[in-house]
A = this chain, B = another copy of it.
Amino acid sequence: MINKKMADLGNQPSVIREIFEYSLRRKAEIGAENVYDFSLGNPSIPAPKMVDDTIKELVESGDSVALHGYTSAQGAMPVREQIAANINARFGFPASAKNIYITCGAAASLTSTLKAVVNDGDEVILLAPYFPEYNVFCANAGAKTVVVLGKGDNFSLDFDALDKAINKNTSAIIVNSPNNPTGAIIPESDIIKLASLLNKKSQEFGRAIYIIADEPYRELTYGDDVPYIPTFYNNTVVCYSYSKSLSLPGERIGYVFVSPNCDAAADLFAAVCGAARSMGYVCAPSLMQRVIAKCDGETSDVSLYNKNRELLYNSLTEIGYKAVKPQGAFYLFMKALEDDANAFCEKAKKHELLLVPADSFGAKGYVRISYCVAYDTIKNSIPAFKALFEEYKDR
């Protein structure tokens, strides 16, 4: 009588959670400083000081009823206006409050958008490697997922494969740049090619094909630009979250921006509202709405992640590991030293290195290394990475 699909999903072992629990046990056994846990994507840099200052200011302002009260379902109008103004200012793109739906985080942005654009029999394209939870969110919307693996060392867009994958049932493609797990940023030239392909296919099949731009890592970059996709493709919905930019992953605050250039943009926005409402999402956490209104544009101190990135990438490639230098986010995607990434991660564990095998990300033979950790964790782990490499050399 229980819904079995939901029970299975709730009982599904999660690779990352299992590593996390192993990590806790192991740290208790041999001391936290001796375990090199690279499994979690939890920001390790505190929120900008302005965030906590703003929270204090708001609660001291005295109007508790207004502060903690319901806002409209789409969010408080001044907050939506602020977000739209920032999109205008940063990207020179015409956003207005009526295109902005404030959400309870990145996952809510995605599930609401997917439910808004997916009809019975529709397909959604995932570009591998990808964040595994996309599968769960697509299933919730009733979409079949079609995986298109990237090309080459950097998993760049494979336009031939994409051309074949898009068909009359294709409703949307999720684009995640900077990417989890590779840290790659899709260059402008590829966004332009993708837009052109999607326009051609939309015309061919007589339907809108949406880009769902999942951008929680937009602010976490190390010199490269992240093209703003609505500028290049009309049918774009941006799913944003402040989890990483403001180091607030637990607070669940983000937004959906339906580009005004989308076909029937007002109806699409209404569908996002309806989808969110149907799942019980109305009015994102109200205190945090006010916080982001004040702190939108602020970012945590990304230079710390950059220091980690340089040390980790340089050390690993010097040892002989193969990886492409990440341009954004806080993950390094490394080739395992054998085809079976799970076996490789088990061997890494013997050296107290906790890595995530990337099979569930849709790319076999790789591991994800989260470098949102303390600098010293990376520094101290290098001998272990070296020993692991030596072990394979001897085989």
Does A145 make an interface contact (CB < 8 A)? no
Provided the pairs A2-B267, A207-B1 are in contact, do residues A277 and B247 lie with their beta carbons within 8 angstroms?
no
Segment 248-285 of A: residues with Cβ below 8 Å from B: 248-252, 263-264, 267-275, 277-285
- Residue A332, interface by CB 8 Å: no
Contacts of A285 in B (CB 8 A): 104, 250-252, 285, 288
Assess whether A171 is in contact with B1, with CB atoms less than 8 Å apart.
yes
- A250 near B70 (CB under 8 angstroms)? yes
Which has the most chain B C-beta neighbours within 10 Å: A10, A43, A111, A248?
A10
Question: Which of B10, B117, B251, B273 touches A1 (beta carbons < 8 Å)?
Answer: B117
Interchain CB contact (< 8 A) of A59 among B55, B274, B288, B289? B55
Is the Cβ of A251 less than 8 Å from the Cβ of B208?
Answer: no
A189 CB–B CB distance under 8 Å: no
- Taken residue by residue from 44 to 85, chain A's Cβ proximity to chain B (1 for < 8 Å, 0 otherwise) reads as 111100011001100110001101111100000000000000
Q: Which listed residue (B68, B251, B272) contacts A248, Cβ 8 A?
A: B68
A271 CB contacts on chain B under 8 angstroms: 2-4, 6-7, 10
Q: Which of A134-142, A154-162, A336-344 contacts B (4 or more CB under 8 A)?
A: A134-142
Whether the pair B116, A274 counts as a contact (CB closer than 8 A) is no
Q: Given the known inter-chain contacts A64-B47, A104-B104, A105-B280, please indicate yes or no for A250 contacting B2, CB distance below 8 A.
A: no
The contact of A42 among B2, B69, B247, B264, by CB within 8 Å, is: B69
Chain A residues packing against B (C-beta within 8 Å)? 1-12, 42-47, 51-52, 55-56, 59-60, 64-65, 67-71, 104-105, 107-112, 115-119, 133, 136-137, 139-140, 171, 207-208, 247-252, 263-264, 267-275, 277-289
